[in-house]
Amino acid sequence: MWAFDNSYYRHMDGFHVPTRPDVPPEPRLIRINRPLASEMGLSLDGLDNGQLAALFSGEMIPEGAEPLAQAYAGHQFGTFVPQLGDGRAVMLGEIITPDGRRFDMQLKGAGRTPFSRGGDGKAALGPVLREYLVSEAMAALGVPTTRALAATLTGETILRDRPLTGAVLCRIAASHIRVGTFQYFIARGDTDRLRQLSDHVIARHYPALVETAAPYEALLEAVVEAQAALVARWMGLGFVHGVMNTDNMTVSGETIDYGPCAFLDAYAGQAKFSSIDQNGRYAFGAQPHMALWNLTRLAECLLPLIDADEEAAIARVTAILNRFPERFNWHWLAVMRAKTGLFEEREGDLALMQGLFAVMEGQGVDFTCFFRTLASDLAGEEQARDQFMDPTAFDPWRVQWAARMATEEGRVAERITLMNATNPRIIPRNHNVEAALEAAYAGDFTPFEALLEAVTHPFDTRPEWENYATPPDDGGAGYVTFCGT
């Protein structure tokens, strides 16, 4: 029925354990992402909601699927854990799209696996809908990300700090291979499997590198580039991932594992939301640095493949890692230029953009609203300036910005168009997400559906979406997210 081609199952012996998802007592479809299904070439013709619920909850295994749980390790908040693995996720298999791309299809919250340790392998409704909302918003914003294909209720109550409605998310990813997947094998001294994994990743995600002279260095370089680009996109949207452990960083460069993530309301460089991130390891402004930290862990895994002489291998990966700041800044400046209506590169752009965030700090400026209204500044309005507690704090930067614009061609109308296509009006704001999840727990999915529709049209204006574009009264102060997925 669907075009499964399960390369990980077939060729990657020792990287996974065949595992069947639990059969949920009473699956019910919450939401199916039909445009995504169609992009994936998954025909849903003739399937009613009951059959869809069965297929996307684990009750029924689609023909051609070969379910498994993947092995991986990871640094969690800096501490190495040699065995993590899919503890509450079962991969159904890989789908080949009509245009020949390969994607994993995974059920998150499908029950215990050999990697579950003490956990129940289940997911609560709130985190499932949260991942659905945020990952689909990210996709609509053009950020590389795993996607949400379907959400189902299991008919089960699961126990967290209180009893909660159980649910399953079916997600799609270019792959679920993480930095932590490499770490699983380096921890076991299994160089053969590290090479096999690297070759698999190169063939799957970076096929242009297959023929290069030094493929494992090239692989590291490619992942460095993909992550520099990804984190730059996060930084341009005020996105805080919240738990950038090495097991939550893909080698494909897609955002993955939307646990305690959040978008900034009021800008603060060190904003953090996760209850478990006591020291701000994964605070907003720390993300580029933590990406490099994770990439350094990946580099360590690749050392034995790069050169038998460890000193020589270290020198070669260090040269690659040292380029991360420059590559990140390059991507970040591209994002920031578009956000501020600039078309060309100029020498002082890094200082100009850093200067903007320096003046925004402590001013209670809503990240999304500020950038969205900045275009109106070009039409002589003061909406952006007025968001500063002390609007005069913005003025010196505004003068620099105007001078910078004067150094390049470009009509005001073109700048405004660029800015409005780059700076979203609507993001999944924390208070709106929480309200939607709370209603869903009470059995009302209308707010979830309405918010999903809005956040997947982030640049549009509709009168009924005004409340989604409005910051919370308190600027989001004190908002805390929890990992309990």
Stretch that binds Mg ion, among 40-48, 230-238, 256-264, 332-340 (CB under 5 A): 256-264
CB of 273 to ligand AMP, least distance (A): 15
Closest CB to ligand AMP among 19 and 387?
Answer: 19
With contact defined as beta carbons under 8 Å apart, do 69 and 19 qualify? yes
Reference 304, options 188, 403, 423; nearest CA is: 188
DSSP 481: B
Residue of this chain nearest to ligand AMP (CB atom): 119
Residue nearest to Mg ion (CB): 257
Of 195-203, 253-261, 389-397, 470-478, which part binds Mg ion (CB under 5 A)? 253-261
Residue 183 interacts with Mg ion (CB under 5 A)? no
Helix-helix angle 324-339:349-360, to 10 degrees = 70
Helices and strands in the chain, H and E counts: 16, 12
Among Mg ion, ligand AMP, none, residue 259 binds (CB under 5-8 Å by kind): ligand AMP
Largest CA distance in the chain: 65
For residues 248 and 456, which CB has a smaller minimum distance to ligand AMP in the complex? 248
444 is catalytic: no
The residue among 421, 104, 479, 97 whose CA lies nearest residue 256 is 104
Those residues whose C-beta lies under 8 Å from the C-beta of residue 469, and which sit 6 or more positions away, are 368, 369, 372, 425, 426
The residue among 168 and 320 lying less far from Mg ion, judged by its C-beta, is 168
Number of residues that bind Mg ion (CB under 5 A): 2
Q: What is the dihedral of CA 257, 261, 263, 264, to 10 degrees?
A: -150
Between CA 464 and CA 467, with CA 466 as vertex, the angle to 5 degrees is: 100
- From ligand AMP, Mg ion, none, which one binds at residue 84 (CB under 5 to 8 Å depending on kind)? ligand AMP
Q: Which does 87 bind (CB under 5 to 8 A by kind): ligand AMP, Mg ion, none?
A: ligand AMP
Closest approach of Cβ 257 to Mg ion, in Å?
4
Q: What is the CB neighbour count within 10 angstroms for residue 49?
A: 13
Of the two residues 15 and 332, which places its CB atom closer to ligand AMP in the complex? 15
Closer to ligand AMP by Cβ: residue 22 or 349 = 22
Minimum CB–partner distance for residue 154 and ligand AMP (Å): 13
The two tokens of residue 237 are 């949207």
Contact indicator for 342, 376 with CB cutoff of 8 Å? no
Residue whose entry in the numeric block shows the structure tokens 């275009």: 375
Note whether 475 and 366 are within 8 A (CB).
Answer: yes
Which residues sit at the interface with ligand AMP, rule CB under 6 A? 84-88, 115-116, 119-122, 243, 245, 247-248, 257, 259, 483, 485
Window 336-375: contact mask with Mg ion (x via CB under 5 A): ----------------------------------------
Q: Which of ligand AMP, Mg ion, none interacts with 483 (beta carbon under 5 to 8 A by kind)? A: ligand AMP
Computed from CA positions of residues 26, 31, 37, 43, in that sequence, does the dihedral angle turn out positive or negative?
positive
In the complex, what is the shortest distance from the CB of residue 450 to Mg ion, in angstroms, rounded to a whole number?
Answer: 29
Shortest separation between residue 248's beta carbon and Mg ion, angstroms: 5
Q: Which of 22, 86, 104, 247 is catalytic?
A: 247
Strands of 100-197, DSSP E: 102-108, 123-124, 147-159, 163-173
DSSP-based three-state secondary structure for 221: helix
Per 3-state DSSP, the chain is made up of helix, strand and coil in percentages (nearest 5) of 45, 15, 40
Q: Which does 377 bind (CB under 5 to 8 A by kind): Mg ion, ligand AMP, none?
A: none
57 binds Mg ion (CB under 5 A): no
> Pick from 284, 30, 265: which is nearest to 167 by CA?
30
- Residue 288 beta carbon to ligand AMP: minimum distance, rounded to whole angstroms: 20
207 SS3 class: helix
| Nearer residue to Mg ion within complex by CB, 248 or 456 | 248
257 binds Mg ion (CB under 5 A): yes
Other C-beta atoms within 10 Å of 83: how many? 16
Closer to Mg ion at the Cβ: 129 or 469? 129
What residues between 219 and 248 interact with Mg ion by CB under 5 A?
248
Considering only residues 277-306, where is the footprint of Mg ion by CB under 5 A? none
Residue 336 token pair: 């920031």
The residue range among 91-99, 227-235, 255-263, 273-281 that interacts with Mg ion, by the rule CB under 5 A, is 255-263
- In the complex with Mg ion, the residue whose CB is nearer, 244 or 302, is 244
86 binds, among ligand AMP, Mg ion, none (CB under 5 to 8 A by kind): ligand AMP
Q: Which does 120 bind (CB under 5 to 8 A by kind): Mg ion, ligand AMP, none?
A: ligand AMP
CA torsion 160-164-168-173 (nearest 10°) is -50
Rounded least distance, CB 121 to ligand AMP, Å: 4
Q: Locate tokens 């020792």: which residue?
A: 14
- Catalytic residue list: 247
Q: For binding to Mg ion (CB under 5 A), which residues are involved?
A: 248, 257
